[in-house]
Amino acid sequence: MLNEQYSFFHNVERSFDKAAEFTKWDKGLLEQIKACNSVYRMRFPVKMDDGRIEVIEAYRVQHSQHKSPCKGGIRFSEAVDQDEVMALASLMTYKCAIVNVPFGGAKGGIKINPRNYSTYELEKITRRYTSELVKKNFIGPGIDVPAPDYGTGEREMAWIVDTYASLKPGEIDAAGCVTGKPVSQGGVRGRKEATGLGVFYGVREVCNMAGRMKKLGLTPGVKGKKVVVQGLGNVGYHSAKFFREHGSIVIAIAEYEGAIYNANGLNEEEVFQHRKATGSILNFPGATNIEKSTDALELECDILIPAALENVINGSNADRIKAKIIGEAANGPLTPEADVILNKKSTLIVPDMYLNAGGVTVSYFEWLKNLSHVRYGRLEKRFTENMNSHILTQMESLTGKTVSDAERKFIMHGAEEVDLVHSGLEETMITATQEIIAIWDKNPEIPDMRTAAYVCAINKVATSYNELGIFP
Ligand code: NAD
């Protein structure tokens, strides 16, 4: 149900309207872009392990079909409602447009806390949800392609593709009905870390802009920058990993049970293993406990990465946020009130709608792989290596010098699937960041990067509708 007091969807609409003022598109066309095209709200019974029957509430929203298929993750969370799924579906439309992924936007949600269910119960819920989608023609490689989101991962995607394929025998492209699958089930190497890596590439690109950094009183580059990460799930873990590997210092990590701080830096893998072993992030060796998890958001740092859920930075805590840059890894972590307060403080907010597009970008690569039925790099890897070896041997004989074995191995290397996926992602995130910043630089009236990102998205979606000839 739409919550009239607070609506995530209305917040997205407000941001859209603010940006639309900087465009010249017809009002009716803008209304069409904003609207959610289809909302499927379902209820279905599932028998639990103890014999009880539970009625499950779930959603799939297709925000836009200006490109097919439409695409977006499936979330398992108690906070799922129609408003949230509509908001997330619309963000998917804008996200795909910005990163030039030719999909419309969609999103799914099941209103459950996955921690309260056994694996077998979760499998039954996921499979039943999938068959409901099949029944209403809400899933398929050319229709609507789900992916993981909060509370779901490879395992759930494997259940979905298996259910879909068994209901659609003989469909040659069935593997393309969902992305984020395990590699053995048609997944692509590099998908798991894609969103966190995309967050890193996007923030790094902003940090490499000397002019922008000067305005914030920071030096260019990510090296040495102090980073705070909220949420040690898929996105938070990988964001922390790539910042640390590129020389940033992850001084704090927050989970829902509390946060930990170490000025010398934390290693996300060690923290993850500690949490797995003890059931809590707290009491990590060498770190200080922060009992109230949200206090970590208010720490002195250069970059804050909220990678858990929406609305965590809002009217009540925004003025205490000290980070110079906020990289919105989660969807909607800042409310519009927080935006206003932080923009006044000149905090640079790198917006969710493109910053966390790494997942959908690599999902696009996975979908292409599924449709082409061939692993990336399979055809050219060996050819490249043979050619590189040949060139190297020629150069050695011409110069009379030889390179070390390690150098030879490096130069010869032909791209594997994961290399190509990471490279495609890096290119996508750099281009998107530059496009958004160029729009912002060109029009100084645009108040913030989020608005510039929306302008970028609106222009691309509107152009696409126009080219369809629906709005002559
Ligand atoms: P996840 O379930 O893997 O991880 C979320 C983590 O946040 C969990 O470890 C959870 O315990 C923690 N958390 C929950 N509430 C918290 C709180 N109040 N304080 C601190 N930590 C808290 O989910 P994910 O896939 O990493 O998604 C995180 C966010 O990123 C979501 O907003 C999601 O929509 C967005 N996102 C995810 C992807 C993706 O590819 N997975 C892509 C785009 C956007």
- Residue ranges covered by each domain of the chain: 39-185, 189-390+411-472
> Which residue puts its alpha carbon closest to atom 24 of ligand 1?
150
pLDDT at 177 exceeding the cut of 70: yes
143-169 pLDDT per residue, tens: 999 999 999 999 999 999 999 999 999
Atom of ligand 1 nearest to the CA of 309: 32
Confidence label for 240 from pLDDT (cuts 50, 70 and 90): very high
Atom of ligand 1 nearest to the CA of 88: 34
Annotated active-site residue 292? The verdict is no
> Which residue puts its alpha carbon closest to atom 31 of ligand 1?
330
> Which residue puts its alpha carbon closest to atom 27 of ligand 1?
150
> Which residue puts its alpha carbon closest to atom 19 of ligand 1?
256
- In this prediction, residue 367 carries a pLDDT of 98
Q: Which residues line ligand 1 (CB under 6 A)?
A: 148-151, 195, 230-236, 254-256, 293, 307-309, 329-331, 356, 359
Of 71, 150, 181, 294, the residue with max ligand 1 atoms within 8 A of its CB, to mutate for a pocket test, comes to: 150
Q: Does domain 189-390+411-472 have CATH number 3.40.50.720?
A: yes
Q: How many A from CA of 237 to the centre of ligand 1?
A: 10
Please indicate whether the domains covering 39-185 and 189-390+411-472 agree at the CATH topology level: yes
Q: How many A from CA of 462 to the centre of ligand 1?
A: 31
Assign 76 to helix, strand or coil: strand
Long-range contacts formed by 366-374: CB under 8 A, 24+ apart:
366/179, 366/180, 366/181, 366/186, 366/187, 366/188, 366/191, 367/141, 367/145, 367/176, 367/179, 369/186, 369/188, 370/141, 370/173, 370/175, 370/176, 370/179, 370/186, 371/141, 371/173, 371/176
Of 94, 112, 234, the residue with max ligand 1 atoms within 8 A of its CB, to mutate for a pocket test, comes to: 234
Pairing of strands 303-306, 325-327: parallel
Q: How many A from CA of 331 to the centre of ligand 1?
A: 9
pLDDT at 1 exceeding the cut of 70: no
**Average pLDDT score, the chain:** 95
Pair 323, 160: CB distance under 8 Å: no
- HSE-up (13 A, CA, CB side) for residue 38: 19
Can you spell out the DSSP letters for 310-345?
Answer: TTSB-TTTGGG---SEEE--SSS-B-HHHHHHHHHT
425-446 pLDDT per residue, tens: 999 999 999 999 999 999 999 9
User: One of 18, 34, 67, 107 is an active-site residue; which one?
Assistant: 107
pLDDT at 397 exceeding the cut of 50: yes
Pairing of strands 53-62, 38-47: antiparallel
pLDDT at 351 exceeding the cut of 50: yes
Pairing of strands 249-255, 258-261: antiparallel
- In this prediction, residue 3 carries a pLDDT of 44
- In this prediction, residue 55 carries a pLDDT of 98
Average pLDDT over residues 15-37: 95
Atom of ligand 1 nearest to the CA of 150: 23
- In this prediction, residue 471 carries a pLDDT of 53
42 backbone dihedrals φ, ψ, rounded to 5°: -130, 160
Confidence label for 173 from pLDDT (cuts 50, 70 and 90): very high
Closest by Cα among 97, 93, 100, 96 to 32: 93
What does each C-alpha distance from 104 to 95, 141, 158, 259 come to in angstroms? 9, 13, 23, 37
46-98 pLDDT per residue, tens: 999 999 999 999 999 999 999 999 999 999 999 999 999 999 999 999 999 99
- In this prediction, residue 106 carries a pLDDT of 98
pLDDT at 472 exceeding the cut of 60: no
Confidence label for 8 from pLDDT (cuts 50, 70 and 90): confident
246-296 pLDDT per residue, tens: 999 999 999 999 999 999 999 999 999 999 999 999 999 999 999 999 999
- In this prediction, residue 7 carries a pLDDT of 86
- In this prediction, residue 396 carries a pLDDT of 96
Confidence label for 5 from pLDDT (cuts 50, 70 and 90): low
> Which residue puts its alpha carbon closest to atom 8 of ligand 1?
233
Pair 43, 438: CB distance under 8 Å: no
Average pLDDT over residues 32-55: 97
CATH of domain 39-185: 3.40.50.10860
Atom of ligand 1 nearest to the CA of 237: 26
Pair 218, 302: CB distance under 8 Å: yes
- In this prediction, residue 76 carries a pLDDT of 98
Q: How many A from CA of 361 to the centre of ligand 1?
A: 18
> Which residue puts its alpha carbon closest to atom 42 of ligand 1?
359
Atom of ligand 1 nearest to the CA of 254: 20
Closest by Cα among 263, 245, 283 to 271: 283
Q: How many A from CA of 189 to the centre of ligand 1?
A: 21
